[in-house]
Chain A
Amino acid sequence: MSAFLKLLFRNRLAAIGAVVLGLILALVLVAPLLPLPDPDATATSERFARPFSEGHILGTDHLGRDLAARLVHGTRVSLAIGLFAALAAAVLGSAIGIAAGYFGGRTDNVIMRAIDMLMAFPYILLALAIVAALGPGLRNALIAVAAVNIPFFARNIRGITVGLAGREFVDAARLAGMGHTRIILSEILPNVLPVIVIGISTTVGWMILETAGLSFLGLGSQPPQADLGSMLGEARAALITAPHTSVVPGLMIFLIVMSINLLGDGVRDALDPRLKSGALARPRATTRVDRRGPVPEEPAKGLLDLQRLETQFHVGKRVYKAVNDVSLHVKPGECLGLIGESGSGKSVTALSVMGLVASPPGAITGGAVRHDGEDLLSLPYDALRRRRGEKVAYIFQDPLATLHPLYRIGEQMAEAIRVHHRISDREARARALELLRAVRIPNPESRLGNYPHEMSGGMRQRIGIAMALANDPEVLIADEPTTALDVTVQAQILALLDELRRERGLAILFITHDFGVVAQLCDRVAVMYAGRIVEQGPTEEILARPAHPYTARLIACVPELGEGKRELAAIPGLPPVVDSLPPGCAFAPRCDKAQEDCRKGAIDLAGTGTHDVRCLHPEVTP
Chain B
Amino acid sequence: MSTALKAESLSKTFSVSGGLFSRARPGVRAVRPLSFSVETGETLGIVGESGCGKSTLARMLVGLLPASEGSIEIAGKALDTADPAAFGRLIQYVFQDPVSSLNPRKTIRQIMEAPLRLLHGMDRAARAARIAEIFGSVNLRDEFLDRYPHEFSGGQAQRIGIARALAAAPEILILDEPVSALDVSVQAQVLNLLARLKREFGLTYLFISHDLAVVEAVSDRVMVLYFGAVVEIGPAREIFTSPKHPYTRLLAASAPVVGRPLAAPEQKDSELPDPLDPPPGCAFAGRCPRASDLCRREDPALEPMGETRLAACHHPLED
A and B from one complex: yes
Binding site for B on A (CB under 8 A): 167-169, 171-179, 182, 186-187, 190-191, 341-342, 442, 456-459, 486-492, 494-496, 498, 513-517, 519-521, 543, 553-554, 557-572, 574-575
Number of interface residues of B (CB under 8 A): 79
Distance in Å from the Cβ of A390 to the closest Cβ of chain B? Answer: 28
Contact B183 A342 (CB under 8 A): yes
Contact B95 A569 (CB under 8 A): no
Contact B257 A516 (CB under 8 A): yes
Residues of B within 8 A of A570 (CB): 185-186, 188-189, 191-192
What is the CA–CA distance of A182 and B48 in the complex, to the nearest angstrom? 36
B97 touches A (CB below 8 Å): yes
Distance in Å from the Cβ of A556 to the closest Cβ of chain B? Answer: 9
What is the CA–CA distance of A167 and B155 in the complex, to the nearest angstrom? 19
What is the CA–CA distance of A458 and B183 in the complex, to the nearest angstrom? 23
Contact A554 B184 (CB under 8 A): yes
Given contacts A177-B118, A187-B103, contact A492 B270 (CB under 8 A): yes
Residues of A within 8 A of B92 (CB): 175
B204 touches A (CB below 8 Å): no
What is the CA–CA distance of A563 and B214 in the complex, to the nearest angstrom? 10
Residues of B within 8 A of A513 (CB): 183-184
Given contacts A175-B93, A487-B49, A557-B187, contact A519 B258 (CB under 8 A): yes
Residues of A within 8 A of B81 (CB): none
Distance in Å from the Cβ of B249 to the closest Cβ of chain A? Answer: 11
What is the CA–CA distance of A282 and B40 in the complex, to the nearest angstrom? 56
Contact A177 B115 (CB under 8 A): yes
What is the CA–CA distance of A178 and B88 in the complex, to the nearest angstrom? 10
What is the CA–CA distance of A567 and B196 in the complex, to the nearest angstrom? 10
Given contacts A169-B101, A487-B212, A561-B212, contact A174 B256 (CB under 8 A): no
Q: Which of A167, A488, A561 contacts B250 (CB 8 A)?
A: A488
Residues of A within 8 A of B93 (CB): 171-172, 175
Give the residue name and chain of the A residue nearest to B237 (CB): A564
Contact with A along B131-156 (1 / 0, CB 8 A): 00000000000000000000001011
Residues of B within 8 A of A572 (CB): 189
Residues of B within 8 A of A490 (CB): 254, 256
What is the CA–CA distance of A568 and B161 in the complex, to the nearest angstrom? 21
What is the CA–CA distance of A457 and B210 in the complex, to the nearest angstrom? 16
Stretch in B24-32, B260-268, B288-296 touching the partner: B260-268
Contact A574 B188 (CB under 8 A): no
Contact A569 B100 (CB under 8 A): no
Residues of B within 8 A of A459 (CB): 270
Contact A177 B88 (CB under 8 A): yes
What is the CA–CA distance of A581 and B220 in the complex, to the nearest angstrom? 42
What is the CA–CA distance of A498 and B256 in the complex, to the nearest angstrom? 14
Given contacts A341-B183, A516-B255, contact A560 B213 (CB under 8 A): yes
Give the residue name and chain of the A residue nearest to B186 (CB): A574
Distance in Å from the Cβ of A108 to the closest Cβ of chain B? Answer: 13
B84 touches A (CB below 8 Å): yes
Contact B264 A491 (CB under 8 A): yes
Residues of A within 8 A of B191 (CB): 568, 570
Residues of A within 8 A of B97 (CB): 168
Distance in Å from the Cβ of B17 to the closest Cβ of chain A? Answer: 10
Contact B213 A559 (CB under 8 A): yes
Residues of B within 8 A of A187 (CB): 103
Contact with A along B178-202 (1 / 0, CB 8 A): 0000011111110110010000000
Contact B88 A175 (CB under 8 A): yes
Contact B100 A169 (CB under 8 A): yes
CB-contacts of B237-261 with A (<8 A):
237, 240-241, 250-261
Q: Which of A171, A186, A492, A560 contacts B264 (CB 8 A)?
A: A492
What is the CA–CA distance of A177 and B165 in the complex, to the nearest angstrom? 12
B114 touches A (CB below 8 Å): yes
B272 touches A (CB below 8 Å): yes
Contact B265 A190 (CB under 8 A): no
Contact A565 B188 (CB under 8 A): no
Residues of A within 8 A of B251 (CB): 487-488
What is the CA–CA distance of A561 and B219 in the complex, to the nearest angstrom? 12
Residues of A within 8 A of B250 (CB): 488
Distance in Å from the Cβ of B203 to the closest Cβ of chain A? Answer: 16
What is the CA–CA distance of A179 and B93 in the complex, to the nearest angstrom? 17
